[in-house]
């Protein structure tokens, strides 16, 4: 009997779509699902007549595969992944490969990689972006694990991955153990921010000019023009969705959609990781918190009766507002991506991932949810200088931010005046401005407060005209404490 090139476990939307994608590229695919009825429905439905083999026991599934066996798990993250790994292990041999294509937490992937390596089993944690359509027609793939493991599926991955306009596949080896899932996690966090920023623009137009969703959709459609810096998949689907009518009526579907945005957890993990790594990602965090706020609908309905907040109408012309909003959104978007890329760099250093940020962004140019025209600009920025400390330091982006930061500030003022909360826009602006501050006065005050009530000590700057940190001759930071409770309040240097 002919053996399958690869096997997929999990016949939900993504697993089925990937199986069809692989089969369309000439691969013989075996499939298995815990509940056999889903497997049967798949092979008698979308996969009927295709080179896809159905199996109904885990033993038969494994036995149908060529050696070294290559198995892709497309199951829910967490315990289900561990359960299937335990079921597979007795049936596998050294050199066989397990691929986790779900949204697993990267630290779980690191653990599994280590445990399986001890058993001689290769393991890849692969981020898969693009949703159902991407999985079917070409996703962006972010594989992390042993390089030896990646070489076993490199050809397959390149064949099924999305292709950018230059023809290059949107996949490359990300790095060891949990690197792929770490990158996918941050990708999703950036996605949260991008979506929230666009939503805040829509809300501001609606309040400022009492526009219909369809009218706003027409504006945003123009932002998806061929050479527009905002051209992206998210802009495209936002415009399309805003113009969709509700049951062929005069209403719009989005206006009948409940204002509750759910989450699967990757955005929360991104914020948690940023806190652990001491990397500020306020725009991504704001997007996560906004989703959390959306879910407390009952409280918001109650508070809307208690808090009658002042609202004004915009004084600007619609034409001016369109220009302001466009450029403000682009600056905010640059800020959000800078935050996500800063987290990737910090994670790379902390966990030894050795990430190539330029290659990662290059792999997002097609197939994935955040695919966008300006990703080419980010890629070029890292090609020009792979060690830029922050995306905002790249000359091509610094020029745009310096030119248009005022438009972002003005847009924020308008949104506030018409009663629209825009936490993502606010935080994107604040992130840029704080980065540009040689002295953060609020931090000076907080440092002094901590020393006052808790004797925590503080560092000092070299002088009023020199904001660099005061150090010893050999470069060690000097620390001080003021005796606040004594009358003359003497300052002493803390030695450790």
Q: For position 385, which CATH number holds?
A: 1.10.1040.10
User: Confidence class of residue 390 from pLDDT cuts 50, 70 and 90?
Assistant: very high
* pLDDT computed for residue 460 by the predictor: 97
Greater pLDDT, 212 or 311: 212
* pLDDT computed for residue 479 by the predictor: 97
* pLDDT computed for residue 310 by the predictor: 76
* pLDDT computed for residue 183 by the predictor: 98
User: Confidence class of residue 316 from pLDDT cuts 50, 70 and 90?
Assistant: confident
Neighbours of 366 (CB within 10 A): 23
SS3 label, residue 15: helix
User: Confidence class of residue 62 from pLDDT cuts 50, 70 and 90?
Assistant: very high
Query: pLDDT for 327-372, tens place per residue?
Result: 999 999 999 999 999 999 999 999 999 999 999 999 999 999 999 9
In the predicted model, is pLDDT for residue 145 greater than 80? yes
Active site residues: 184, 191
**What average pLDDT does range 68-96 have in this prediction?**
97
* pLDDT computed for residue 158 by the predictor: 98
Domain stop point among 150, 173, 196: 173
Residue located via tokens 């298995």:
32
Please indicate, yes or no, whether residues 134 and 227 belong to a single structural domain of this protein.
no
In a domain, residue 252? The reply is: yes
- The rounded distance, in Å, linking the Cα atoms of 302 and 306 is 7
- The rounded distance, in Å, linking the Cα atoms of 451 and 417 is 39
* pLDDT computed for residue 496 by the predictor: 76
For 478, the token pair is 């000097």
Please indicate, yes or no, whether residues 94 and 210 belong to a single structural domain of this protein.
no
User: Confidence class of residue 495 from pLDDT cuts 50, 70 and 90?
Assistant: confident
The domain containing residue 54 runs over which residues?
A: 6-173
DSSP state of 264: -
Q: DSSP characters for 172-206?
A: ---BSTTHHHHHHHHHHHHHHHHHHHHHHHHHHHH
Query: pLDDT for 451-483, tens place per residue?
Result: 999 999 999 999 999 999 999 999 999 999 999
CA quadruple 265, 109, 177, 160: dihedral, nearest 10: -70
Q: CA of 377: how far to CAs of 278, 280, 338, 363, in Å?
A: 27, 23, 13, 13
* pLDDT computed for residue 182 by the predictor: 98
**Packing angle between helix 213-222 and helix 179-209, nearest 10 degrees?**
120
- The rounded distance, in Å, linking the Cα atoms of 314 and 321 is 9
Neighbours of 381 (CB within 10 A): 22
- The rounded distance, in Å, linking the Cα atoms of 72 and 123 is 10
Cis, peptide link before residue 68, omega less than 30° from 0: yes
Domain stop point among 173, 201, 219: 173
Please indicate, yes or no, whether residues 115 and 82 belong to a single structural domain of this protein.
yes
* pLDDT computed for residue 162 by the predictor: 97
Domain stop point among 141, 173, 205: 173
Please indicate, yes or no, whether residues 409 and 460 belong to a single structural domain of this protein.
no
In the predicted model, is pLDDT for residue 313 greater than 80? no
pTM for the predicted model, two decimal places: 0.94
Specify the CATH number for the domain of residue 140.
Answer: 3.40.50.720
Query: pLDDT for 247-260, tens place per residue?
Result: 888 899 999 999 99
- Which helix (H) or strand (E) segment is 34 a member of? none
In a domain, residue 179? The reply is: no
Neighbours of 308 (CB within 10 A): 7
In the predicted model, is pLDDT for residue 216 greater than 90? yes
* pLDDT computed for residue 55 by the predictor: 96
* pLDDT computed for residue 9 by the predictor: 98
Please indicate, yes or no, whether residues 118 and 260 belong to a single structural domain of this protein.
no
Please indicate, yes or no, whether residues 404 and 453 belong to a single structural domain of this protein.
no
- Which helix (H) or strand (E) segment is 446 a member of? helix 441-454
| C-alpha closest to that of 347 among 434, 431, 269 | 269
- The rounded distance, in Å, linking the Cα atoms of 130 and 367 is 5
* pLDDT computed for residue 467 by the predictor: 96
**What average pLDDT does range 91-120 have in this prediction?**
97
In a domain, residue 362? The reply is: yes
Q: Percentage of the chain surpassing pLDDT 70?
A: 100
Please indicate, yes or no, whether residues 121 and 207 belong to a single structural domain of this protein.
no
Please indicate, yes or no, whether residues 67 and 51 belong to a single structural domain of this protein.
yes
Query: pLDDT for 437-446, tens place per residue?
Result: 999 999 999 9
In a domain, residue 1? The reply is: no
Q: DSSP characters for 60-79?
A: HHHHTBPSSPEEEE-S-SSH
Please indicate, yes or no, whether residues 106 and 33 belong to a single structural domain of this protein.
yes
In a domain, residue 449? The reply is: yes
The sign of the dihedral angle between the CA atoms of 56, 60, 62, 65 is negative
Please indicate, yes or no, whether residues 254 and 164 belong to a single structural domain of this protein.
no
Residue 369 φ then ψ, to 5°? -65, -35
**What average pLDDT does range 171-194 have in this prediction?**
97
> Where does 257-394 have alpha helices with state H?
266-277, 282-295, 297-306, 318-351, 357-362, 375-384
For 202, the token pair is 């829509």
The residues, ordered by sequence, that sit 6+ positions from 291 with a Cβ below 8 Å of its Cβ are 192, 261, 262, 263, 267
**Packing angle between helix 395-417 and helix 318-351, nearest 10 degrees?**
120
**What average pLDDT does range 395-413 have in this prediction?**
97
Please indicate, yes or no, whether residues 61 and 83 belong to a single structural domain of this protein.
yes
| C-alpha closest to that of 391 among 491, 281, 276 | 281
How many whole angstroms from its chain centre is CA 162?
18
In a domain, residue 141? The reply is: yes
* pLDDT computed for residue 439 by the predictor: 96
Structural domain count, the chain:
3
In a domain, residue 18? The reply is: yes
Mean pLDDT value across the chain: 96
Please indicate, yes or no, whether residues 264 and 342 belong to a single structural domain of this protein.
yes
In the predicted model, is pLDDT for residue 376 greater than 90? yes
* pLDDT computed for residue 264 by the predictor: 84
* pLDDT computed for residue 308 by the predictor: 85
User: Confidence class of residue 311 from pLDDT cuts 50, 70 and 90?
Assistant: confident
- The rounded distance, in Å, linking the Cα atoms of 20 and 29 is 9
In a domain, residue 407? The reply is: yes
């Amino acid at each position: 009997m002919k053996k399958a090139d690869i096997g997929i476990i999990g016949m939900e939307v993504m697993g089925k779509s990937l199986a069809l994608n692989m089969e369309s590229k000439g691969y013989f695919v075996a499939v298995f699902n815990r509940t056999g009825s889903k497997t049967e429905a798949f092979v008698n439905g979308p996969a009927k007549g295709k080179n896809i083999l159905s199996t109904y026991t885990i033993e038969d599934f494994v036995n149908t595969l060529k050696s070294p066996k290559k198995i892709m798990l497309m199951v829910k993250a967490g315990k289900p992944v561990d359960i299937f790994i335990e079921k597979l292990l007795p049936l596998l041999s050294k050199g066989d490969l397990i691929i986790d294509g779900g949204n697993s937490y990267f630290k779980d992937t690191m653990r599994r990689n280590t445990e399986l390596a001890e058993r001689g089993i290769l393991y890849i944690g692969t981020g898969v972006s693009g949703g159902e359509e991407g999985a079917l027609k070409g996703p962006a793939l972010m594989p992390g694990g042993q390089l030896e493991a990646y070489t076993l599926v490199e050809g397959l991955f390149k064949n099924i991955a999305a292709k950018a306009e230059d023809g290059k596949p949107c996949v490359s080896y990300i790095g060891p153990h949990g690197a792929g899932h770490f990158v996918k996690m941050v990708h999703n966090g950036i996605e949260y921010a991008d979506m929230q920023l666009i939503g805040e623009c829509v809300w501001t137009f609606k309040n400022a000019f009492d526009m219909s969703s369809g009218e706003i959709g027409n504006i945003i459609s123009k932002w998806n023009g061929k050479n527009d810096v905002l051209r992206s998949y998210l802009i495209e689907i936002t415009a399309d969705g805003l113009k969709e009518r509700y049951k062929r009526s005069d209403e719009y579907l989005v206006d009948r959609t409940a204002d509750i945005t759910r989450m699967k957890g990757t955005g929360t993990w991104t914020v948690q990781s940023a806190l652990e790594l001491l990397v500020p990602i306020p725009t991504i965090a704001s997007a996560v918190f906004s989703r959390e706020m959306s879910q407390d609908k009952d409280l918001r309905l109650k508070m809307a009766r208690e808090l009658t907040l002042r609202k004004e109408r915009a004084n600007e012309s619609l034409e001016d507002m369109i220009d302001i909003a466009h450029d403000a959104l682009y600056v905010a978007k640059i800020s959000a991506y800078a935050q996500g890329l800063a987290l990737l760099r910090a994670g790379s250093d902390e966990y030894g991932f050795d990430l190539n940020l330029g290659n990662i962004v290059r792999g997002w140019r097609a197939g994935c949810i955040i695919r966008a025209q300006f990703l080419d600009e980010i890629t070029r920025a890292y090609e020009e200088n792979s060690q830029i400390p922050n995306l905002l330091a790249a000359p091509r982006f610094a020029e745009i931010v310096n030119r248009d930061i005022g438009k972002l500030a003005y847009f924020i003022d308008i949104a506030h005046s018409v009663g629209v909360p825009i936490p993502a826009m606010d935080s994107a602006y604040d992130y840029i401005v704080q980065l540009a501050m040689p002295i953060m006065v609020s931090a000076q005050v907080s440092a002094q407060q901590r020393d006052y009530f808790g004797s925590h000590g503080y560092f000092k700057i070299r002088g009023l005209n020199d904001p660099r940190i005061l150090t010893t001759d050999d470069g060690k930071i000097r620390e001080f404490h003021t005796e606040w409770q004594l009358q003359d309040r003497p300052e002493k240097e803390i030695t450790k």
